[in-house]
A = this chain, B = another copy of it.
Amino acid sequence: MGHRTVDFPAWLAERVQHVEGVLDQLLPPAGTEPESLHEAMRYAVLGPGKRVRAALVYAAGEASLQSGTAAAAQEIALDHAAAAVELIHAYSLVHDDLPCMDDDALRRGRPTVHVRFNEATAMLAGDALQPLAFELLALMPIAPALVVQASQLLARSAGSLGMVGGQAIDCDSIGVALNGDQLQQMHSMKTGALLEASVLLGGIVAGAGSSARQGLESYAAAVGLAFQVVDDILDVTSDTATLGKTAGKDAAGNKPTYVSIMGLEGSRELLQSLHAQARAAVLPLGPAAGRLADIADYIVGRDR
């Protein structure tokens, strides 16, 4: 199976632009005190980014709406939820890039936050982005019971049994021979948990019922893993200029990847089956789930 590049769908490009404006509005304004901290937070979040997580929030929201169109309050809530997952993702990248972690100088084609500012500011910017995400959820103008569900979900996906736990396992596994199951477990926590939470947050905000939530969960699990498999494939098949981050880094760092465990062909076969799972999972949601299918196509076919 060849690696077919899928272009960004037009609606997704529009959403990326939209969420950029939302983040710009919801982050602390530039020039306000504490100035360097706020500047670093904005630098970490704004600018080039795929915004896959935000797109998943919107697409899952649209797929789950009972009435077909979002009420104004739901639209604001989707904006806040989309911003919240992007803040969590951005903070994790800032901390991941620090010298005590991956020690990476380049991210999305720009100097990483600790290179552009300094280590202390980078750590604090990450530390401040995280509660801002929970503040944005608390400010969603929807039923408080749904806000509480959303907050619990995001907290769990970002914590020691989710994203941070996956990072910890990743750190501990350098030079260690993980098998396929262990690798899948690590990635389902490190990358999958927040991607899954993004999908489910959209569903919660839009009032998805329990059968819709089941479809979203299955879709989210497949897409979450597919995302990482593609990352591992791109790490060996792409170059630094295209990726906007250092290519070949995982291979060089002796980190276990899907490619190192199951080979390039095996990884592409796994990817194909995850893609099919994702598309099948949202079929019962009908045409409203078209954008979720678009995102699955894009994640699988992306070249960076």
When all copies of this chain in the complex are counted, the total is 2
Find A144's partner among B95, B100, B145, B169 (CB 8 Å cutoff): B145
The docked-state distance in angstroms from the alpha carbon of A98 to that of B126 is 14
Q: Are A164 and B128 in contact (CB under 8 A)?
A: yes
Q: Are A172 and B34 in contact (CB under 8 A)?
A: yes
Which A110-125 residues have C-beta < 8 A from chain B? 118-121, 123-124
Q: Are B132 and A152 in contact (CB under 8 A)?
A: no
A98 contact set on B, CB distance < 8 A: 100, 123
Q: Which residue of B lies closest to A38 (CB)?
A: B160
* A188 part of interface (Cβ distance < 8 Å): no
Q: Which residue of B lies closest to A114 (CB)?
A: B100
Contacts A34-B172, A168-B36, A171-B121 given; does A139 touch B152 at CB 8 Å: yes
The docked-state distance in angstroms from the alpha carbon of A139 to that of B120 is 32
Q: Give me the interface of A with B, judged by CB distance under 8 Å.
A: 28, 33-34, 36-38, 41, 92, 95, 98-101, 118-121, 123-124, 126-128, 130-132, 134-135, 137-139, 143-145, 147-149, 151-152, 154-156, 158-161, 164-165, 167-169, 171-172
The docked-state distance in angstroms from the alpha carbon of A154 to that of B138 is 10
The docked-state distance in angstroms from the alpha carbon of A21 to that of B218 is 38
Q: Are B135 and A152 in contact (CB under 8 A)?
A: yes
Q: Are B34 and A128 in contact (CB under 8 A)?
A: no
Secondary structure type dominating chain A contacts: helix
Find A151's partner among B121, B123, B137, B143 (CB 8 Å cutoff): B137
A126 contact set on B, CB distance < 8 A: 127
The docked-state distance in angstroms from the alpha carbon of A119 to that of B160 is 16
Find A158's partner among B131, B147, B152 (CB 8 Å cutoff): B131
The docked-state distance in angstroms from the alpha carbon of A28 to that of B38 is 32
Find A37's partner among B120, B138, B160 (CB 8 Å cutoff): B160
The docked-state distance in angstroms from the alpha carbon of A132 to that of B132 is 15
Q: Are B168 and A124 in contact (CB under 8 A)?
A: yes
12 contacts between A and B (CB under 8 A): A28-B161, A36-B168, A37-B165, A37-B168, A41-B160, A95-B124, A99-B100, A124-B168, A131-B134, A135-B156, A138-B151, A147-B151
Q: Are B124 and A171 in contact (CB under 8 A)?
A: yes
